[in-house]
Homo-oligomer: A and B are copies of this chain.
Amino acid sequence: MVKKISVDTAVLTDPSTAAADIDRCLNTMLYESRPVYIGVPVDMSHRQISGEGLKTPLKRELPPNDKAQEEKVVNEIWSMVKSAKKPVIILDGNTVRNNLTAEANKIAELTGWPYLTTCMSKGGANEELPNYSGVYGGGGSIEEVRKVVEDESDFVLWVGSFRTDFNTGELTDFVDEKKTVDLQRFFTKIGGQKAKSSKVEWDPYPLPEAAKEKKELKQDFLWAALSKIIKAGDLVVGETGTSAFGLAGTWYAKGSSGYNQTIFGSIGYAGPSFTGALKAAKEAGTVNRGILVTVEGSLQLTAMCFADLLKLDLKPLIFVLNNNGYTVERLIHGKQASYNTLPVWDYKQLCTVFGPEHPSKYHGPIKDDSELHKGECFQLVELVLGELDAPWSVGQVTASIEAFNQKHAPKEAGTSMGG
């Protein structure tokens, strides 16, 4: 089964080939930057194998490009760059996964072109650049962004594009391939034909109406409030669904980093991923503080990660949006359906159950955020929200899907997004 989700697999049944099998899998993993699987049978785990392979270091760098081919591609891109009158740059998910955000930020800084991120790559772009222009997500974008990318631009430098249902507005992205250069790990895709400097004429962090209201707490309040909380040295992880979509509209300070996954719609991934990533980043010294944003429906699947966060003393700051059920699912189908309703938990006791020996703090709905900045222990912030409250972008994508379906699909067809 694992072969379907691995680029290479080996089950070590022969001591004479085990070392070579391990080296081959590790080199493939590094080359492809994708998972491999190595199975170690119990009765093999104590066998002695040759150490000869250790003399050859693993290959940690990609082989160089073919010189002639590279020159041809660079020239083609350069001629498009020179003739472009309305160019834009999109930093997308594969730039982050391939660890090339510094290079992308440099291009954005040097050119001054409108610089966009996507939901998946949120946290990769330097949002303090004057030309940072917001988040492109097909029909889920703010109208100014959608217009400049899809309608007005004549050249799109799409660095590490990653078109998926969750990343680009349920495939409601319509960017002409002919004007696009897509830079990927193993290939560069050049569309065709036809610039310089720009000033952002819209607010990349528009404050939704809901965030301005003072009556009832709304999700959109949080996304704006977090802009004041995230600072350099923070690692921000957003759960699949509303959290990742909502965080796309938050200002990430330069020197902070972000992570979410918009590839497979698997809710519950965020807590354990956050725990592992924060442990690794703190050990590597690359992060000061971890911030997790999740929703109670997702948290209920993997809340046990709180026990590890406490045991490992990682002092996270965690926001739980409690909207009494699966909100995105309610918006799509079954607003009052019993399967969209969840057991009611008492979140303020979670930390004392999962780590009674460790210090932790629970905060009710945010009133004053000064305490949150200290980060001296595990902090849990619960926001109690309306059942159908969601980030504005989710509403927009839902409407966009609806419009698309009405236009293209048979009457009874529909599409869905998790969370």
A interface residues with partner B (beta carbon < 8 Å): 1, 4-5, 42-43, 45-48, 300-301, 303-304, 307-308, 310-311, 342-346, 349-350, 352-357, 409, 412-416
Contacts and interface: CB of A to CB of B under 8 A. Distances in A.
Contacts of A409: 43
A190 B343 CA distance: 52
12 contacts: A1-B1, A1-B4, A1-B5, A42-B415, A42-B416, A43-B409, A46-B412, A46-B413, A307-B345, A343-B354, A344-B355, A345-B353
A412 B353 CA distance: 42
Contacts of A343: 307-308, 310-311, 354-355
Contacts of A301: 304
Nearest to A356: B346
A42 to B, nearest CB: 5
Chain copies in the assembly? 2
Nearest to A302: B304
B414 A45 contact: yes
Nearest to A349: B353
Contact of A345 (B354, B413, B415): B354
Contacts of A344: 311, 355-357
Contact of A46 (B308, B311, B353, B414): B414
B300 A307 contact: yes
Nearest to A332: B42
Contacts of A4: 1
Given A300-B304, A345-B354, 11 more contacts: A42-B414, A46-B413, A46-B414, A48-B412, A303-B304, A304-B304, A343-B354, A344-B355, A349-B352, A349-B353, A350-B353
A300 to B, nearest CB: 6
A18 to B, nearest CB: 13
A415 B414 CA distance: 51
A141 to B, nearest CB: 23
Contacts of A415: 42-43
A4 B416 CA distance: 27
A264 to B, nearest CB: 13
Given A45-B414, A304-B301, A352 B357 contact: no
A238 to B, nearest CB: 21
Contact of A352 (B45, B346, B413): B346
Contacts of A1: 1, 4-5
A102 B357 CA distance: 51
A414 B346 CA distance: 45
Contacts of A47: 412
Nearest to A333: B45
A31 to B, nearest CB: 24
Contacts of A353: 345-346, 349-350, 353
A346 B354 CA distance: 7
Contacts of A354: 343, 345
A12 to B, nearest CB: 13
Contacts of A45: 414
Contacts of A356: 344-346
Contacts of A48: 412
A238 B311 CA distance: 28
Contacts of A412: 46-48
A76 B304 CA distance: 56
Contacts of A349: 349, 352-353
